[in-house]
Amino acid sequence: MSDPLSTLLCQRLGCRYPIIQTAMGWVARPELVAASCNAGAFGFLAAAVLPAEEVGPAIDRVRALTRAPFGVNFHMFQPGAARIVDTLIERKVHAVSFGRGPDKQMIARFRAAGIACVPTVGALKHARKMVELGVDMLVVQGGEGGGHTGSVASTVLLPQVLDAVRVPVIAAGGFADGRGLAAALAYGAQGIAMGTRFLMTRDCPVPERTKERYLRAGTEDILVTTKVDGLPQRMIRNEMLARIERAGRLRMLALALGSAWRLKRLSGARLGELLSAARRMRHDSDLSAGQALMAAIAPVMFQRSMMAGEPERGLLATGLVAGRLTDLPSCSELVEAIVREARARLASLGAPAAP
């Protein structure tokens, strides 16, 4: 009998189990990616917040920690994006993930190099567009997901996309355990992708003070806001978000300028590169100039939480699922528990009903 957990996701990406660790900025660093991959999942390194010259060394660091295949996430708006693409191809990474940005020629270039293209989408129209561009698989994130998110729940968006496309689909948004994996497979997905659940592990390099804020958060502490950059983002309510929600135009301008300066120091990018990134974001979306600038510099607001260990001074992106998570397992313990529960759930579906 074939193994129900040996799906196309496993076969194409080379992982043991149909579980993806997503590329959360400042969170999916080499240590977490390697731990996820060593546990049997497929991890994505977050390169979207890295200077171009640090992407190669970060890839090398992951390879020093694991022999398993892994992927890299980036976006075409960031400074040095063309150099990053060259690095990913030169380093022969196994897969790349991204949102909107790469065009058909870029995707063809990755595929010609043997690199699987696995973008994340949050709307049916974006799923169709990515398939037209020639991607290999899709991660479909329902509205329960963390960070930038849509308004359609996973239970609606997932079947919509599955009915509309003919590439393997991975379910994201609200998944954290074996029940979710079994449900995703029952829908017809090839596996699940999780961000917040992997953030809330002992292997995640995020400071303990920040993890404590996630552990304390209930579902009532999690909201979707458009105040950061004009796009819906799911966050844990905290002091920094409260400041942003109360801020008027002048206060937001001061916050943007301060964040831009801090990001300049962190990334080494020139001010012109940051402004160019904002212009490219605006061209590819319906953002105003101010919103595009905030989108370009928002990573620094997450850096305070995820690297500096100052959860009250930074933003806390999260999936809604954080509201029911109360522990910090290792990646190995997490994946083993998911696999064990998924197998039990799938087996129970074929068992005869009790009299």
pLDDT, one tens digit per residue, over 296-347 is 567 778 888 999 999 999 999 999 999 999 999 999 999 999 999 999 999 9
The torsion angles phi and psi of 211, rounded to 5 degrees, stand at -60, -35
Tokens of 60: 């090398």
> Tens digits of per-residue pLDDT, 105-118?
999 999 999 999 99
Per-domain boundaries in the chain: 8-205+325-346, 209-306
Nearest one of 27, 12, 18, 14 to 198, comparing CA atoms: 27
**Does the domain made of 8-205+325-346 have the CATH classification 3.40.718.10?**
no
Any idea which of 136-140, 220-224, 272-276 has the lowest mean pLDDT?
272-276
pLDDT of residue 272: 54
Of 286 and 114, more confident: 114
The mean pLDDT value for 206-222 works out to 98
pLDDT digits 0-9 by tens, 146-155: 988 999 999 9
